[in-house]
Amino acid sequence: MKKATFRGGIHLDGHKELTSGLETVVAHIPDRVYIPLSQHIGAPCVPLVVVGDQVKKGQKIGASKGFVSAPIHASVSGTVVAIELMEHPGGSFVPCIIIENDRKEEWAESVIPHRDPASLTPDELRAIILEAGIVGKGGATFPSHVKYAPVEGKIVDTVILNGVECEPYLTTDHRLMLERSDKIVAGLGYIMRAVGCERGIIAVEENKMDAVAVMEKAAAEAKNITIVVLKEKYPQGSEKQLIYACTGREVPVGGLPLAVGVIVNNVGTASALARAVELGIPFIGRNVTVSGPGIRNPANYRVRIGTLFSELIKQSGGYVGEVEKIIAGGPMMGKTVFTDNLPVVKGTSGIIIFTKEENRHSKEFACVRCAKCIDVCPAYLEPTSLVRLAKRKAWEDAERMDAMSCIECSSCVYVCPAQIPLIQHIRRAKQAILAAKARPQG
């Protein structure tokens, strides 16, 4: 059978065998958790607690009035000992609520199972999802309730769950599909109800056929949910490329998936959402892959939000070799961090440790017009031409050549034999184009 996919993209060494066979284990619950007030795209939260307050597990401790935002919750019970600025895996400094764990694991009163989740209306579902602080778990951390809010004149006919996990090393979604398939299918059902659509798709890459089998079994009852097997290729999990592979629809330039009647969510988001809808449990934990050549025992962990990277690294037996890089997320789009003294946040899918070995740099050459960047660009752009324009600050020309359509998947940089950091030049062009748009005319 020919597997569905998109045009372009690259084949990567997955290194997933390091952890794909390892069952998700519960990470040690730390003595202190560090919960940043901003773990999502949108308005940061303001604290609802002060130093000295007793909090319970699942208690809302931060919220915002902004529509595009998501509240945060205590991931342990205990005492708020400080609210202070800390480095965030995203690179910025963010105020964090620090909770000393009393080890009582007491649930907040607000955490109550919904007696009849099947009877909830779309509005009720969205309210629960908002209250539970559910955001996209794939990495972009977009607040889910916003995604499901009805938009005048737009009809959603398909919800796609993204179980592609095309970044090397990461295996949390793979394990989740093997271990929590029922929750994923249930979560997809709630999303479909929240947006009022009849068709659900769970997309899985062909390198996870065991997960395909498990998901097919879990979804056997649900007639309107299908499992779609996609070709193994990066960035297959990118939203627009995924929609194209699953439905043949192209999201128009500058448009959202909604423009073609589709909503995409990560499989992990669906399972978190099912827990929130059925059990009333907010987003206080997530699965994290700790892997890479620089860690002694790679593993998949079930982690409380606010657990420090360093604690997970300790549980994995510590570093091996000369560690040079820690990547929050995958090696293609993840961000490197300066230290391991950082909390796991809602968007932390993996912690990848690289040693000096992986960190070799080759010399940059002039572009030799090999066109490999053009061949692999999943947005059908000409990265090398955009770089040429960006270098001479021809922002308007770059905009005409659709620089804004770059999804920053970095495939072009990966293949460039001249080692040109194309993506950085294109990001610069995008920033310049945005700035020019923001400036008042005249």
Partner 1 sequence: MTTSNDLLVVTSSPHVHSPDSVPNAMRDVLIALVPALLAGLYFFRLPALAVIAACVASAYAAEIICLRVMKKPQTGEASAIITGLLLAFCIPPHLPVWMAVLGSVFSIVIAKHLFGGLGQNIFNPALIGRAFLLASFPVAMTSWSRPLDGVTTATPLSIMKEATGQALPSLSELFLGNVSGSIAETSALAILLGGAYLLYRGHIDWRIPGSFLGTVFILMSIAGWVKGAGFWYPFFHLFAGGLLLGAFFMATDWVTTPVTKLGRIIFGVGCGSLVVLIRLKGGYPEGVAYSILLMNLVTPLIDRYTRARVFGRVKSHA
Name the residues that contact partner 1, by CB under 8 A: 10, 12-13, 153, 168, 240, 244, 249-255, 259-261, 310, 319, 323-327, 331-341, 352, 354, 358-359, 362-363, 365-372, 374-375, 378-382, 384, 402, 405, 410, 413-419, 421, 423-424
Nearer to partner 1, 121 or 341 (CB): 341
Q: How far is the CB of 379 from partner 1 (least distance, A)?
A: 5
The candidate with the shortest Cα–Cα distance to 215, out of 254, 166, 177, is 177
Nearer to partner 1, 47 or 334 (CB): 334
Nearer to partner 1, 22 or 407 (CB): 407
Helix-strand-coil percent breakdown of the chain, rounded to 5?
Answer: 30, 20, 45
Q: How far is the CB of 375 from partner 1 (least distance, A)?
A: 8
Q: How far is the CB of 372 from partner 1 (least distance, A)?
A: 7
Nearer to partner 1, 87 or 179 (CB): 87
Report CA 265 to chain centroid distance, whole Å: 9
Nearer to partner 1, 282 or 343 (CB): 343
CB atoms within 10 A of CB 414: 17
The candidate with the shortest Cα–Cα distance to 136, out of 256, 6, 232, 266, is 266
Q: Strand pairing of 25-26 and 299-304?
A: parallel
Q: How far is the CB of 403 from partner 1 (least distance, A)?
A: 10
Nearer to partner 1, 92 or 121 (CB): 92
3-state secondary structure 1-39: CCCECCCCCECCCCCHHHCCCCCCEECCCCCEEEEECCC
Q: How far is the CB of 251 from partner 1 (least distance, A)?
A: 5
- Categorise residue 199: left if φ over 0, alpha if ψ from -120 to 50, beta otherwise: beta
Q: How far is the CB of 90 from partner 1 (least distance, A)?
A: 12
Contacts of 32 (CB under 8 A, 6+ apart): 81, 98, 99, 100, 101
Q: Are 239 and 147 in contact (CB under 8 A)?
A: no
Q: How far is the CB of 332 from partner 1 (least distance, A)?
A: 5
Rounded to the nearest 10 degrees, the angle between the axes of helix 267-279 and helix 172-179 is: 50
Nearer to partner 1, 341 or 431 (CB): 341
Q: Tell the burial category of 154 from Cβ atoms under 10 Å away from its Cβ (0-12, 13-18, 19+).
A: exposed
The candidate with the shortest Cα–Cα distance to 344, out of 265, 292, 283, is 283
Q: How far is the CB of 271 from partner 1 (least distance, A)?
A: 27
Encoded amino acid at 223, one letter: K
Nearer to partner 1, 67 or 380 (CB): 380
How big is the chain, counted in residues?
Answer: 442
